[in-house]
Structure 1
Amino acid sequence: MRVCTDAGWTKREECVRDPTGRTPPHGDPKGDPKAVRRRQNRVAGIATIGGFLFGYDTGVISGALIYISSDLHLDATEQSVVVSCLLLGAAFGGTFAGRVSDTAGRRRVINWAAVLFLIGTAGSALATSMEVMVAARIVLGLGVGAVSAVVPLYIGEIAPLSRRGRLVNQNEIMLVTGQLAASVVNAAIAGVSEDDQVWRWMLGVALIPAIGLFVGSRFLPESPRWLVSHRQFDEADRTLHSLREPQAAQEEYGHILDVSRAHRHDARMKPRRYLTIRWVRHLVVVGIGVSLCQQLAGVNAVVYYAPTLLSRTGLSANASVTSEIAVGGMGVVATLVGMYLVSRVDRRPMLMTGQIGAAAAHLLIVALITVLSGTVMSVSVLGAMVIFIFFQQCFISTVTWLTLSELFPMRVRGFAMGLSVFFQWTANLVVSLAFPNVIERYGPQAAFGSFVVLSLLGFAFTRWVLPETRRESLEDLERRLKARFS
């Protein structure tokens, strides 16, 4: 391995910075650990505004739907379309954004997603018909899909190994905080006014964080791994030295270059051609499986339809909307617990714990609906939903997004993440379309009973198929998985 200096550095992929430190590093020459951590936190904080918008825009509809349905005169099928059209946009937004982020860069795609959030939020808040609402929410969905695919990737690539779990899961914290904020905003606005038009304010509040993401994303550094894969070596070096202590930056830069050099022969291969490579194809299938496991556990059926379902059991519209706060609050608490655990416990045991807990919670909901009635049933079902959200957010969602950010090789990471997110949002769409209709036709016991079975199937997948991804750098993990599945 050649040692490089700033002068005469031509075949850059074949060399690394002088590990003795004689080559002057870019960034903070003192490498103050506190300053480095502050920069890491600032970058992750700006990027995860996208996670907040993801959470707010998917969560706000559950409380707003009651008022939208009344104002725009929507039947059950039309309600499903209004909820689900965002998911359709997200499926394609995630696929497209993941692919584009491999060519245009992670930072640029996050900025473009902010523009979609601005357009979609304004359009949905001002909608005067179902058709306009659906069009605006599809645009909003493109933004949601984009950040769901790219933000975890971006943070995983800029985070050091020791903080990767915490920083990637900061996005999940922001996601559930966004869902909680949506619940609080919905309840506050519904408490101030009973006008059918209050839903416009509920949806329009999202303009504030969308503006924040648009402005903040323009100051984000690009992923150093993406920069190296596109031969922008000086910029990658500067970015690493601004986000690491000098010695750590030099060592990590060397690892990244080693992997880049190992894949020089297929640098120009189109992403879909990678699917002909056995080990890459295997990891993509595993990623799709992880994504499906998260959605088929039923989380978004609870998030989207909890107030509507509880109102059917006898709670008033305002009380049903307020119940969202319990669900959203538990989501935040559970994610904080998950953030603590994920740096200490391997991914697979956490995911399996969540899947067993989710199955048990759904089974409890079935039993409560069957045995109880009236207000007692409403309160009991809400409690069981809160238990489910704990297992989902603490274990399943926390591990899912982190695993997806770690699993794929660098050359195809955006493409593979986008493909996994496409299947995740497609499953979300199917569940959201089917859930209210299954309840209408077969009853809630059948709907929640199906989630019991699907959660147990997810457990089997995790137990026998999913590889462990904790404890290794992205480059070392790529080498190990390649050797294992080739």
Structure 2
Amino acid sequence: MGKKEQDITQGPEHKKSSSTPNKALRKITLISTFGGLLFGYDTGVINGALPFMSEADQLNLTPLTEGIVTSSLLLGAAFGAVFGGRLSDQRGRRKNILMLALIFFIAALGCTFAPNTEVMVLFRFILGIAVGGASVTVPTYLAEMSPAERRGKTVTMNELMIVTGQLLAFTINAILGSVLGDNDHVWRYMLVLASLPAVALWFGMLVMPESPRWLASKGKIGEAMRVLQQVREESRAKAELQEIQRAVTKESEIKRATFKDLNTPWVRKIVLIGLGIAVVQQITGVNSIMYYGTEILKDAGFETQAALVGNIANGVISVIATFFGIWLLGKVGRRPMLLTGLIGTSSALLAIGIVSLVFEGTAALPYIVLSLTVTFLAFQQAAISPVTWLMLSEIFPLHLRGIGMGVTVFCLWITNFTIGLTFPVLLGSVGLSTTFFVFVIFGILAITFVQKFLPETKDRTLEELEESFRNRIIPKTVPGQKKV
């Protein structure tokens, strides 16, 4: 080995770990998923901060400016997801996560000390860039660090950390709202706490290894081997490195799809289905509850502090349902799981709309609405959200994955942005019941799309799916299962 390579391998990622490979992988998973925790906290904290932030002596927000403040993060995330993936390919997963941690920290402080709406929107947009970058970089890093048999479980830990971050935000909002509710700047305390996980992520990633997959793709074979020896048994590290080298060589020979390839009918169809999956997850209205849950409960009749406390239930059910969803993915097909989730969420939203009319002005209404938002999130987080991200990773053949994931994730965030922007305007102009009836219509359209166009990807290889689309056959059942 030459002197140059020896010098390169002296960084923190190449120090011989004294822990076992399993412990090393658990440590890597814990540290890197602080990016998911930040994702969850920063998207959830606005839920409780908005009522205080909107006061006349604070930022004096209208329904429109509430939507702009909330959705500016989501617009930033759309661009962060696109450019974050490219930067991690160029600079490395570890370096990209370090950069994102710094952006998380600076943007959290910028939001905390924002003197007006314009500055708040600017730093929320910057914060969104970090959220979007983390949404693509952290799962990629985890997938490349994990052995094949543990990859699914390890990668879904990031989804679990996202909903845990949202639960943490809801809980802290409730505590600060109850203890410091009379303080004009309580919302600033809610926002500044997001800087602490960012610090933990930055210092933690300083001693984490780089992805061996990325190192091998850059020709740094010696470094890749050293990292694999930290997270694999000695006998397995060499064999896996050879697999990685073969995969890198194969990928370098594959002609990647471009936008010109969308003229090919089967390519266009599979990309459109990917876009549909992304849109379906968002038009359920899930993020109207995750971002505006406190406002919804206030509109139903709760006082601000009671709404903050009640909103914790939404966070708790999200975490529990995500655990269940991770388990369920290995048991049933993607299509029936997604259809069941959409029927459940649409029914819950329809019930919210009806009871808002029938029980308007009664003391029971806020409690009924809370129970229905919890029911909604149980279906969403146990069925729809896990299937969405898994199917997006499964549906695209290798040569389509770059353009497919780029376009679909960007579209997902733009849809999220649109809903985040318009929801408070709808709520303020047409009321709670009509707003949720609109989402019921979207839910019916989503069910129709899944029933008619969505393929079943469980237990099928990428090659089998590609062949099906080439032959204009959409597989709708798990192999070996009789079609009902």
TM tier, smaller: 0.7 to 0.9
Q: Conserved in 1, the CA contact under 8 Å of 2:48 and 2:170? A: yes
**Matches of residues 443-482 of structure 1 in structure 2 within 5 Å?**
443-470=431-458, 477-482=461-466
**2:23 aligned with 1:35:** no
- Residue type of the alignment partner of 1:68: M
- 1:263 Cα deviation from its structure 2 partner: 3.5
Alpha-carbon distance in 1 for matches of 2:332, 2:240: 24
- Aligned partner (choices 62, 65, 74) of residue 78 of structure 1: 65
Report the equivalent of 1:57.
42
- Aligned partner (choices 389, 396, 404) of residue 392 of structure 2: 404
In structure 2, the CA distance between the partners of 1:484 and 1:458, relative to structure 1 (3 Å rule), is same
- 1:410 Cα deviation from its structure 2 partner: 5.6
Summarize deviations over 1:22-47 as a string: whole Å, max 9, x none: xxxx9999xx9x93332222222112
**Matches of residues 231-380 of structure 1 in structure 2 within 5 Å?**
231-246=219-234, 248-249=236-237, 252-266=240-254, 283-373=270-360, 374-380=362-368
In structure 2, the CA distance between the partners of 1:332 and 1:355, relative to structure 1 (3 Å rule), is same
Alpha-carbon distance in 1 for matches of 2:210, 2:278: 26
Q: Conserved in 2, the CA contact under 8 Å of 1:121 and 1:204? A: yes
Report the equivalent of 2:415.
427
- Aligned partner (choices 94, 117, 134) of residue 104 of structure 2: 117
Report the equivalent of 2:128.
141
Q: TM-score, normalised by structure 2?
A: 0.85
Summarize deviations over 1:283-317 as a string: whole Å, max 9, x none: 54433322211111111001111211221222111
Q: Conserved in 1, the CA contact under 8 Å of 2:257 and 2:403? A: no
Q: Conserved in 1, the CA contact under 8 Å of 2:103 and 2:127? A: yes
Summarize deviations over 1:90-128 as a string: whole Å, max 9, x none: 111111112222332322222221111011100000111
- Higher alpha-carbon deviation: 350-359 or 44-53: 350-359
Report the equivalent of 2:7.
none
- Residue type of the alignment partner of 1:335: T
Alpha-carbon distance in 2 for matches of 1:467, 1:112: 38
In structure 2, the CA distance between the partners of 1:88 and 1:338, relative to structure 1 (3 Å rule), is same
In structure 2, the CA distance between the partners of 1:235 and 1:461, relative to structure 1 (3 Å rule), is farther
User: How many pairs are equivalent?
Assistant: 455
Alpha-carbon distance in 1 for matches of 2:218, 2:165: 34
- Aligned partner (choices 91, 96, 112) of residue 78 of structure 2: 91
**2:66 aligned with 1:66:** no
Alpha-carbon distance in 1 for matches of 2:241, 2:350: 49
Q: Conserved in 1, the CA contact under 8 Å of 2:457 and 2:465? A: no
Summarize deviations over 1:319-365 as a string: whole Å, max 9, x none: 11111101111111111112222233343332222122111111111
Q: Conserved in 2, the CA contact under 8 Å of 1:99 and 1:414? A: no
Alpha-carbon distance in 2 for matches of 1:245, 1:406: 28
- Higher alpha-carbon deviation: 210-219 or 89-98: 210-219
Q: Conserved in 2, the CA contact under 8 Å of 1:288 and 1:419? A: yes
Alpha-carbon distance in 2 for matches of 1:103, 1:272: 22
Q: Conserved in 2, the CA contact under 8 Å of 1:89 and 1:141? A: yes
Alpha-carbon distance in 1 for matches of 2:297, 2:70: 17
**Structure 1: 5+ residue stretches without partners:** 1-5, 8-25
- 1:479 Cα deviation from its structure 2 partner: 3.8
Alpha-carbon distance in 2 for matches of 1:300, 1:275: 31
For the residue of structure 1 that corresponds to 2:311, the secondary structure is helix
Summarize deviations over 1:122-178 as a string: whole Å, max 9, x none: 000011111111111111111111111222222233333322222121111111111
Alpha-carbon distance in 1 for matches of 2:151, 2:139: 10
For the residue of structure 2 that corresponds to 1:222, the secondary structure is coil
- Residue type of the alignment partner of 1:461: F
- 1:384 Cα deviation from its structure 2 partner: 0.2
- 1:420 Cα deviation from its structure 2 partner: 2.3
Summarize deviations over 1:255-290 as a string: whole Å, max 9, x none: 4444433333347x6966776777766554433322
- Residue type of the alignment partner of 1:363: L
In structure 2, the CA distance between the partners of 1:112 and 1:283, relative to structure 1 (3 Å rule), is farther
Report the equivalent of 1:10.
none
For the residue of structure 2 that corresponds to 1:83, the secondary structure is helix
Alpha-carbon distance in 1 for matches of 2:103, 2:412: 20
For the residue of structure 2 that corresponds to 1:340, the secondary structure is helix
**2:375 aligned with 1:387:** yes
**2:165 aligned with 1:170:** no
Alpha-carbon distance in 1 for matches of 2:389, 2:229: 26
- 1:437 Cα deviation from its structure 2 partner: 1.8
Report the equivalent of 1:21.
none
- Aligned partner (choices 185, 195, 200) of residue 207 of structure 1: 195
Alpha-carbon distance in 1 for matches of 2:202, 2:223: 22
Alpha-carbon distance in 2 for matches of 1:370, 1:174: 36
Alpha-carbon distance in 1 for matches of 2:110, 2:286: 27
- Higher alpha-carbon deviation: 455-464 or 157-166: 455-464
- Higher alpha-carbon deviation: 150-159 or 52-61: 150-159
Alpha-carbon distance in 2 for matches of 1:127, 1:366: 36
Report the equivalent of 2:475.
none
- Residue type of the alignment partner of 1:154: Y
- Residue type of the alignment partner of 1:354: G
In structure 2, the CA distance between the partners of 1:345 and 1:255, relative to structure 1 (3 Å rule), is farther
In structure 2, the CA distance between the partners of 1:226 and 1:481, relative to structure 1 (3 Å rule), is farther
For the residue of structure 1 that corresponds to 2:20, the secondary structure is helix
In structure 2, the CA distance between the partners of 1:345 and 1:417, relative to structure 1 (3 Å rule), is same
The structure with higher relative contact order (CA 8 Å, sep 6+) is 1
- 1:254 Cα deviation from its structure 2 partner: 4.5
Report the equivalent of 1:126.
113
